[in-house]
Amino acid sequence: MTVNVMTAKDVTRKVFDREPFFILDVRNESDFNDWKIEGENFDYLNIPYFELLDGVEEILEKLPKDKDILVVCAKEGSSIMVADMLSEAGLTVSYLKGGMKAWSEHLEPVKVGDLKDGGEVYQFVRIGKGCLSYMVVSNGEAAIIDATRMTDIFLDFADSKGAQVKHVFDTHLHADHISGGRKIAEATNATYWLPPKDATEVTFEYAALEGGQDVTIGNTTITIHALYSPGHTIGSTSFVVDEKFLLSGDILFIDSIGRPDLAGLAQDWVGDLRETLYNRYKELSDDLVVLPAHFMIIDELNEDGSVSEKLGTLFAKNHGLNIKDEAEFRRIVTENLPPQPNAYQEIRETNMGNISPDEEKQREMEIGPNRCAVR
């Protein structure tokens, strides 16, 4: 029997469509427990590859006969060998092309809404890492917000829409993934915007992004309004787009709130975080559609795979927005922080322009789940 090949895009569709699916992950147990492909209707078996070198007979009874089986490893080599053995044993199996490395880097564009004068907003779902990037397209122009280091997909997508990238923004200095913002700006001669309070140590030129600024994309009525919203970082800045969407960066998520400690200043910044969430955001319209820079769990995906919710709904349902006592808020936020992201200091230094790791090193630095939220 032949072994089938599945791409990260194929698996993403199964996540979005909530299909029943079975994954045999042949990485080490610690790697599997730290980070895996997640789907609402997915079942898993984790058997390290080295335990299968003598054959797969002992695991055949643990594998379903009525579901697609996908074999997954770090870079694809081990999964091909295991898939071959399972195929020879009579099972219909696939392996993940490029392994978890490819899963970490896949971005899936999803349209999240229309703008008043014919423009559109797209969300780029980095399904394996939980990162969310955005593109605002209007009248032949585009703005990109919180781009990942995989820049080609943004450039190709803008081309497919007949749009020229004019502006590139980072809502804050990222610590869990390497920004593609500067690279895109250089490739397109776009303006690269960064909050100056996050940029005190950067080594490159940028346009200072500050609260109250309006940046126009395409038609004059479509504006991106900057809202200073510190707490995750001291410079964190949100955007209100077309008076319809709130791009909240890493300050507010669907099921959680941003962590204030990635520069080692949790006690200093937790007050800013509360001020942003409980005062600045409270002044905004409940009808704004919140578009965060990350999602935490697969349950946060909507039916179409996008991640969004109205601000009023989040004020009603998000626990992080409903802690009335300030001392209790401080305690909950500072005592419920997950482990720091992998290599977060190196990622920050890269995003400042202080170090320039090669592509393989950048991949290695980003491997693993995102950890930008308070638990």
CA 3 → CA 62, 98, 159, distances in Å? 19, 15, 35
Q: Which of 11, 47, 69, 73 is catalytic?
A: 73
CA 130 → CA 290, 295, 297, 344, distances in Å? 16, 5, 8, 16
| First and final C-alpha spacing in the chain | 45
Is 73 annotated in the active site?
yes
**Which residues lie below 8 Å from residue 151, measured CB to CB, with a gap of 6+?**
180, 183, 184, 187
CA 240 → CA 65, 114, 154, 272, distances in Å? 50, 14, 21, 19
Is residue 317 within a helix (H) or strand (E), and if so which, with residue range? helix 311-317
What is the C-alpha separation between 328 and 178, in angstroms, rounded? 33
**Which residues lie below 8 Å from residue 244, measured CB to CB, with a gap of 6+?**
113, 115, 116, 288, 289
Q: Which residues are catalytic?
A: 73
